[in-house]
Structures are given as structure tokens and as C-alpha cells.
């Protein structure tokens, strides 16, 4: 355990506490009982400072994005309405790193994971396009995200071998196969004469969320980190950054439970931490660790829209005495790097015809935002589940359930293209069918709403079914009630003993996102075959001009 010059004090001076929070530009979250307290740091004229430039959850947004987080149109780009993309990211990183070099400042560039999955570039190049562009821009380390496993461990092994920077994940344990000897536990960076340990953890839910295969397992993050921090301390390194892909809520739990972490640079939950965006958690958010020290936590939303720009000042024991900075929006004021854009255009040539193909006219925006589809009935959820049942018309399937996390973007009003559809549904999931009892359907819904607080992707979007949801009830204790199914033009209470025909996607049908009963209790399960993107495109075309609806499928308790 490290002994910091900040010591717990039952009678702290208010001035010192306020001063730290003012310098840090942060709010403090105390996890557990007690209050945050600290005495002033001993004067240290040789204090070490480190700038951390960071991104997370790019999700294959190689090209610039719209306000809906989907690929931006040429017209919107010309109108100055686009954000992000690797071109803008390259410009801003190079600009900021040049400034820091000019100041003689220390800096590192980090990625908290999930470069993979989310656009036609990933579908076409299986993640190699993103890694190539990261190599060109320059990164010091990347955490493994759960979506890096989406095409299996063999494909991930190819990506790691292609990367010119370390890809790390300490609690990911490889027992054999293509990843053996490739995935690094952590990396040590030497910056400004100091050694910085960069540790990493990945959500253990990856076993359900993606396709890591039988040779890969995941250790509990806190148990792993308690040992890992001790090991790097034993090497004489006391400045420890955690590059995590577990989500903002879990990051706070880790900070509260593990001594010796200097700061956490997070991802996975797509959380925007900001000192300027109303309602956002502060950048940085501080959590008290077991020794009473403050651990700054940062995250920079997702989809290439923001760059995190954090400055940390350390005491001699590796704890942070000041944490300043903010997330920087990569908007149209930033000119995309010309060389990067030229390479993107070259890679885009084979897929432009696919992207440009018109699908249907859409009469109004279809909301597929993360905030909606992982917490409540959303327009895109209704659209996709209705499309599933439409594709199965004439067969004995009356209920559709899909996971909100499988819906990755909105579609704006106007002409929807195949590129828009593929951005909404980038996972290449197929339509799947099964028979399931009413009791198992209700239990699965209960499981699906069990992690609303974390914004988990398992949240169920439905068709042919409706229910009442009370988030104030404890998880798995009856949040779901009054479940009804449509029979003809009427709504009737679901029968626990009756077998219902259910449509879903093949990922969930095989137990993904926690829907274990779909895998274990289903009867006549069958991965029907057409890709969900084909199902959605056909439905939009058949119902053009399509108008999205919210019609009370998920009724929130008052």
C-alpha cells in the first residue's frame, strides 16, 4: 500500500478541501460511509505533471458523424453540422501534442477500448481500418473493449499483431488459442524521466456481450487490480493509470475499493464527463479510495465526438494533487487532416455503393439514442421489433424482443440509405425464432431491465407485448409487472404456462446480454437467417414514407 503525503484527518480545514476541488475542477463522489477529508500536500517544487489525451468507444466511426452519432452526409458536412471522425481526431491530437511539446510538457495518448463495431468500415475490414488509422495518428496504449471480440479471438489476434502500440487487458485471461502470448497485461511508459504504469480491465460481461470463445475468461476487476497494483509498486512504480473498459459506475466502485490507483481513464458506458455540458458529471469526478485519497475519473462519451484532455499533477507518492482539463468537442471548426481523409476515401471506395443505396423515405426522425433505447420504449426499438414480426407474417410468431444495446444510432428524416440502416444495426445479427413459455418471457424481461442504472444494452425493446416498468424496485425483485400480449386486436394478460412464438436476434437467442433462458429453455429455436439490417431495410421500404411511433409498449410507473 502506498503512503501518500495526503493523510486522512477527522478535522480537515475547509480551505484545503475547497482548494483541491477548485484546482481539480471536479465533483467528489464518496463511495460508502464517511466524508472526504485531506490535509494540504507538502510543498513539492519538483512535482511531476502529466497530460493524458484520451478517447474511448469510437465504434468504427472512421468518417465524421452527425448529431445522431451516425455517419454524416455530404450535405451536412458542407453545412458544418458534422463531428469527429479520424480526420478531425488526427488534427486535434497533432495540434494539442505540438502545443504540449512546445511547453516542454509530458503527455501520453490513450484509448479506453471499443474501436470495433459500428460502421461499414468494420463490416468491410474487420477492424483493420481502425487499427491502421490509430497507428498513423499515434497512440501509447489501448485497452481491450468487449467489441474487439465481436469477430472472435482469431480476428482479434490479427488486430493486435497489426497494432504498433500495446493492447492491454489485465483481467482477461487467455488459456490458449490465437491470443496466446499476444495480449499484454499492462504496459510501462517512460515519460519525462518517470515510469507510468498503465493497467487495464475489461468488463467480465464480455463473455455474454461478445464472442471471446472458450479459451478466454475474465477475472473480477477489483480482485485483479488489488494484486496488479501491488506488483507494479514492487517494481518501484507508484504512478498508476487505470485504462478501463467497465463503465463509469464500476470505475467509481474500483476507485473506492483499490488503493494505489492514481487516476482512471474510462470507457464502455459512453459517459460524457464535462465541466461545460449541463447535467454531465464533472470532469474529473473524484472518488475517495480506501486510504482517503482522491482518485480522478474521466471519460469522453463515444463515437469520436470528443477528445479528453486531462492534466494530472502528482505528489512524490504517486497520488494526484490536481486534476484539470475537460472534454473537447471535435466539431466542424476543426479541419480534418488531409492525409487521413485521403486514406479514408481510398478505403471507402469499395463500400460507397452499398452506403449510398436509398432504402426508403422517413417522415420523421427515428430516435435510436442510447439514452432512450437502454432505459425506456424507444422509436427505433419499436421499428426494429415491428420489422421482425413483419418479416415473419403468416407464421406463428407474435412477440419480438431485441436488446436496446443492439441499436447503435438514430435515422434522420428524409431519404434513409443502406448505410444508415447498417449504422443502426452493425453487428451482422440475424433474425432468430423460438417458442418460449410466458413465465420465461416475463423472467427474461425482468433480467433485461435489471441494469437500467448502468445503461446496460440488455434493456428489452418489444413488439406484440407490453408491460409496466418500475425502476424504483430492486433488480430482479419485480420491476416488471402487468405483462400483456396482443391477441388479434385485444391485449390479454400473458399466460405463464402457454408457449409463445418469439422473434429475437441470434445473439440473444444464444443467451447473449444475459438472456440465458433464451438459450436453455427455448423450444424449436432456429436462427431464421436474414440479417436484421435486411429485415429493417425491407420494412422501411414497405412502409414508406415511414413514421415512427411510441405507443405505450413500456409503461413507466408513476
Per the prediction, the chain carries an average pLDDT of: 90
How large is the average pLDDT for residues 43-64? 86
How large is the average pLDDT for residues 470-476? 97
Same domain, 285 and 417: no
Same domain, 159 and 246: yes
- Determine, yes or no, domain membership for 459: yes
pLDDT tens readout for residues 242-293: 999 999 999 999 999 999 999 999 999 889 999 999 999 999 999 999 999 9
Beta bridge partners of 334: none
CATH no. for residue 115? 3.60.21.10
* Whether the predicted pLDDT of 117 surpasses 90: no
If one counts the domains in the chain, the total is 2
pLDDT of residue 529: 63
- Determine, yes or no, domain membership for 398: yes
pLDDT tens readout for residues 355-380: 889 999 999 999 999 999 999 999 99
pLDDT tens readout for residues 286-310: 999 999 999 999 999 999 999 999 9
Give the integer Cα–Cα distance in Å for 472 and 44: 48
- Residues 6 or more apart in contact with residue 129 via CB below 8 angstroms: 60, 62, 121, 122, 347
For cell 463500400, name the residue: 351
H or E segment and range at residue 233: helix 221-234
Same domain, 324 and 362: no
Candidates 463, 468, 430, 428; CA nearest to 449 is: 468
Burial class (CB in 10 A: 0-12, 13-18, 19+), 471: middle
Q: Which of 329, 345, 377 lies at the terminal end of a domain, its last residue?
A: 329
* Whether the predicted pLDDT of 39 surpasses 50: no
- Residues 6 or more apart in contact with residue 369 via CB below 8 angstroms: 68, 69, 378, 410
Same domain, 174 and 291: yes
3-state secondary structure 109-154: EEECCCCCCCCHHHHHHCCHHHHHHHHHHCCCEEECCHHHHCCHHH
How large is the average pLDDT for residues 327-333? 98
Same domain, 317 and 373: no
Q: Pairing between strand 141-143 and 107-111?
A: parallel
- Determine, yes or no, domain membership for 531: yes
**93-to-171, 343, 456 alpha-carbon distances in Å:** 29, 18, 30
Query: Quick check: 30 and 21 in contact, CB under 8 A?
Result: no
* Whether the predicted pLDDT of 13 surpasses 60: no
Out of 119-123, 302-306, 532-536, least confident range: 119-123
Same domain, 169 and 302: yes
Phi and psi of 378, rounded to 5°? -130, 155
Q: Which of 310, 329, 348 lies at the terminal end of a domain, its last residue?
A: 329
* Whether the predicted pLDDT of 36 surpasses 60: no
pLDDT of residue 73: 84
- Determine, yes or no, domain membership for 36: no
Give the integer Cα–Cα distance in Å for 165 and 163: 5
Out of 206-220, 224-238, 473-487, least confident range: 206-220
- Determine, yes or no, domain membership for 18: no
Same domain, 236 and 383: no
- Determine, yes or no, domain membership for 212: yes
Domain of residue 434: give its range: 357-556
CATH no. for residue 463? 3.90.780.10
Same domain, 321 and 439: no
Same domain, 263 and 406: no
pLDDT of residue 463: 98
- Determine, yes or no, domain membership for 25: no
Q: Sorting pLDDT into bands at 50, 70 and 90, what band is 138? A: very high
Q: Sorting pLDDT into bands at 50, 70 and 90, what band is 385? A: very high
pLDDT of residue 528: 61
Q: At 189, is the secondary structure helix, strand, or coil?
A: strand
Give the integer Cα–Cα distance in Å for 435 and 313: 58
Q: Pairing between strand 141-143 and 167-168?
A: parallel
Give the integer Cα–Cα distance in Å for 542 and 389: 13
Same domain, 57 and 178: yes
For cell 516542454, name the residue: 104
Q: How many CA atoms lie within 13 A of 469 on its CB side?
A: 24
Give the integer Cα–Cα distance in Å for 451 and 476: 10
pLDDT tens readout for residues 408-444: 999 999 999 999 999 899 877 889 999 999 999 999 9
pLDDT of residue 534: 86
- Determine, yes or no, domain membership for 23: no
- What is the grid cell recorded at 145? 473493449
Query: Quick check: 302 and 270 in contact, CB under 8 A?
Result: yes
**300-to-117, 168, 248, 304, 310 alpha-carbon distances in Å:** 18, 19, 11, 9, 11
pLDDT of residue 482: 98
Out of 22-36, 177-191, 351-365, least confident range: 22-36
Give the integer Cα–Cα distance in Å for 129 and 158: 12
Out of 27-31, 309-313, 340-344, 503-507, least confident range: 27-31
pLDDT of residue 18: 40
Same domain, 213 and 124: yes
Angle at 469 between CA 501 and CA 397, to 5 degrees: 10
* Whether the predicted pLDDT of 541 surpasses 60: yes
How large is the average pLDDT for residues 113-123? 89
Query: Quick check: 285 and 30 in contact, CB under 8 A?
Result: no
How large is the average pLDDT for residues 72-80? 91
pLDDT of residue 451: 96
pLDDT of residue 69: 83
Same domain, 140 and 272: yes
Amino acid at each position: 500500500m502506498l503512503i501518500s503525503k495526503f493523510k486522512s484527518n477527522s478535522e480537515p480545514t475547509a480551505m484545503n478541501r475547497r482548494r483541491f476541488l477548485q484546482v481539480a475542477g471536479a465533483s467528489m463522489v464518496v463511495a460508502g460511509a464517511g466524508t472526504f477529508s485531506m490535509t494540504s500536500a507538502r510543498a513539492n517544487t519538483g512535482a511531476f505533471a502529466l497530460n493524458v489525451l484520451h478517447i474511448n468507444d469510437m465504434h468504427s466511426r472512421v468518417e465524421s458523424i452527425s448529431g445522431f452519432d451516425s455517419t454524416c452526409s455530404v450535405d451536412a458536412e458542407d453545412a458544418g453540422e458534422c463531428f469527429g471522425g479520424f480526420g478531425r481526431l488526427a488534427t486535434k491530437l497533432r495540434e494539442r501534442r505540438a502545443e504540449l511539446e512546445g511547453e516542454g510538457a509530458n503527455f501520453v495518448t490513450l484509448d479506453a477500448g471499443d474501436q470495433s463495431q459500428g460502421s461499414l468500415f468494420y463490416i468491410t475490414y474487420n477492424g483493420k481500418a481502425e487499427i491502421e488509422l490509430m497507428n498513423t495518428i499515434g497512440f501509447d496504449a489501448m485497452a481491450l473493449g468487449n467489441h474487439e471480440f465481436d469477430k472472435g479471438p482469431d480476428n482479434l489476434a490479427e488486430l493486435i499483431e497489426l497494432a504498433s502500440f500495446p493492447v492491454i487487458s489485465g483481467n482477461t485471461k487467455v488459456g490458449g488459442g490465437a491470443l496466446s502470448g499476444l495480449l499484454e497485461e499492462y504496459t510501462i511508459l517512460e515519460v519525462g524521466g518517470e515510469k507510468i504504469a498503465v493497467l487495464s480491465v475489461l468488463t467480465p460481461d464480455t463473455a455474454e456481450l461478445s464472442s471471446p470463445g472458450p479459451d478466454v475468461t475474465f477475472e473480477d476487476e477489483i480482485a485483479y487490480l488489488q494484486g496488479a497494483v501491488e506488483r507494479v509498486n514492487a517494481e518501484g512504480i507508484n504512478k498508476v493509470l487505470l485504462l478501463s473498459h467497465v463503465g463509469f459506475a464500476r470505475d467509481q466502485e474500483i476507485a473506492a475499493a483499490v488503493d494505489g490507483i492514481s487516476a482512471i481513464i474510462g470507457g464502455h458506458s459512453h459517459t460524457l464527463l464535462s465541466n461545460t455540458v449541463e447535467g454531465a458529471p464533472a470532469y474529473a469526478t473524484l472518488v475517495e479510495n480506501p486510504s482517503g485519497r482522491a482518485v480522478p475519473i474521466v471519460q469522453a462519451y463515444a463515437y469520436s465526438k470528443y477528445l479528453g484532455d486531462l492534466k494530472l499533477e502528482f505528489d512524490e507518492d504517486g497520488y494526484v494533487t490536481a486534476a484539470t482539463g475537460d472534454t473537447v468537442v471535435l466539431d466542424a471548426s476543426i479541419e480534418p487532416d488531409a492525409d487521413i481523409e485521403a486514406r479514408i476515401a481510398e478505403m471507402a471506395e469499395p463500400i460507397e455503393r452499398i452506403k449510398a443505396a436509398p432504402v426508403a423515405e422517413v417522415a420523421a426522425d427515428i430516435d435510436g439514442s442510447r439514452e432512450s433505447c437502454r432505459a425506456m420504449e424507444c422509436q427505433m426499438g419499436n421499428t426494429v421489433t415491428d420489422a421482425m414480426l413483419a418479416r415473419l407474417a403468416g407464421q406463428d410468431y407474435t412477440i419480438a424482443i431485441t436488446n436496446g444495446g443492439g441499436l447503435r444510432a438514430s435515422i434522420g428524416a428524409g431519404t434513409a440509405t443502406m448505410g444508415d440502416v447498417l449504422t443502426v444495426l452493425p453487428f451482422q445479427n440475424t433474425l432468430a425464432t423460438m417458442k418460449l413459455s410466458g413465465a420465461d418471457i416475463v423472467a427474461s424481461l425482468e433480467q433485461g431491465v435489471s441494469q437500467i442504472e448502468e445503461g446496460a444494452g440488455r434493456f428489452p425493446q418489444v413488439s406484440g407485448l407490453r408491460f409496466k416498468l418500475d425502476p424504483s424496485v430492486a433488480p430482479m425483485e419485480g420491476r416488471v409487472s402487468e405483462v400483456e400480449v396482443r391477441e388479434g386486436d385485444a391485449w390479454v394478460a400473458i399466460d405463464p404456462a402457454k408457449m409463445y412464438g418469439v422473434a429475437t436476434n441470434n445473439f440473444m437467442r444464444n443467451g447473449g446480454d444475459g438472456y440465458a433462458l433464451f438459450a436453455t429453455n427455448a423450444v424449436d429455436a432456429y436462427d431464421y437467417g436474414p440479417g436484421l439490417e435486411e429485415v429493417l431495410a425491407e420494412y422501411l421500404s414497405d412502409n414508406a414514407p415511414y413514421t415512427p411511433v411510441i405507443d405505450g409498449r413500456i409503461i413507466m410507473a408513476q
